[in-house]
Amino acid sequence: MEQIKYTYGWPLLVIFLFMNLVFALATIKKNNSIVDIFWGVGFAVTTIFLWQKHPHISITQIIVNVLVLIWAIRLSGHIAIKNWGQPEDWRYVNFRKAWGKHPFIGAYFQVFLLQGIFMFITLLPVIHVNTFFVPISHLTYFSIICWVIGFLFEAVGDYQKSVFKADVKNKGKIMTTGLWSLSRHPNYFGEALMWWGIWMISFSFFHPIASTVGILSPLILNWLLVNVSGVAMLEKKYTENEAYQAYKQSTPAFFPRLFRRK
């Protein structure tokens, strides 16, 4: 029991305090969508905390921590640039309407506390690799390749979408070129693949229970991206859009096809 408190208690406390600070800031600004900017920051803060608490465990610890920090900084930077000075995102506006007379309570539990829980679950492999010794193996190299591919899908996909939206000629149009011709959500696919890579790097036969528990990270994240906050939510937005429905017929939602159709 003491080992469980030591392994999971501290990062859980860090995430709890961090999300409460973000909630306070969002309440002051009256904009709950700033949580999207601080999502990656929360991962970076918790990873740095874990790293300084256990600084010399293994090479795999360094690899995982560096990869998570690269992902977190890029993601938060991208969202901050995209959303800076913008009104509250339409998803959070709809949440406010659903909460009715209790927006404060709804925001705290449905957005900030819930995202903190998901952040903790996603960070499980990072917690494990910063707690237990995990040797480098052939799986490590394969996992790094998966992470790099995922990072390219997310970063390049986001960049292509940003360039597309920045062109006024594309206002009201659907992005169907580049990586977006291979998948309707290449950035979400990339994010999921990165976290599968992180979990595989953290996997160790010397710690089978922790490694098994750690698979909750990519599984839950995959489920969220496909069925909750990612693909499913955005697809609903374009239900009445004929151009998007045509795009939907020719392009897979999540897993990219290997070749573009001519």
201 lies in a domain? yes
Tell me if 257 is assigned to some domain: no
Indicate whether 134 belongs to any domain. yes
Lookup: tokens for 136 = 């480098």
Token reading at 27: 């309440």
pLDDT digits (tens, 9 = 90+) for 82-95: 888 888 888 888 88
Per-residue pLDDT, 238: 87
Confidence at residue 237, expressed as pLDDT on a 0 to 100 scale: 84
> What pLDDT is recorded for position 73?
97
Q: In the prediction, which pLDDT does 97 show? A: 83
Q: Is residue 256 part of a domain?
A: no
- The number of helices, as runs of H, and strands, as runs of E, in the chain is 14, 0
Half-sphere exposure of 139 (CA within 13 A, CB side): 13
Nearest to 194 by CA among 69, 76, 59, 81: 69
* pLDDT tens per residue across all 262 residues of the chain: 545 556 899 999 999 999 999 999 999 999 999 999 999 999 999 999 999 998 889 999 999 999 999 999 999 999 999 888 888 888 888 888 888 878 888 899 999 999 999 999 999 999 999 999 999 999 999 999 999 999 999 999 999 999 999 999 998 899 999 999 999 999 999 999 999 999 999 999 888 999 999 999 999 999 999 998 889 888 888 888 889 999 999 899 999 987 655 5
CA-to-CA distance for 205 and 189, rounded, in angstroms?
A: 28
Q: How far from 123 is each of 52, 53, 188, 212, CA to CA, in Å?
A: 16, 16, 17, 14
Contact of 134 with 58, CB cutoff 8 Å: yes
Query: For residues 210 and 133, is the Cβ–Cβ distance under 8 A?
Result: no
Rounded-to-integer distance, Cα 177 and Cα 181, Å:
5
Q: Is the Cα dihedral 23, 29, 33, 34 positive or negative? A: negative
* Per-residue pLDDT, 5: 59
Q: How far is the CA of 134 from the CAs of 60, 130, 182, 184, 200, in angstroms?
A: 6, 9, 35, 36, 11
> What total of structural domains would you count in the chain?
1
109 is in which domain, residue-wise?
A: 2-250
The predicted pLDDT at position 93 comes to 85
- Rounded CA gap, 232 and 250, in Å? 17
How high is the pLDDT of residue 179? Answer: 96
pTM of the model: 0.92
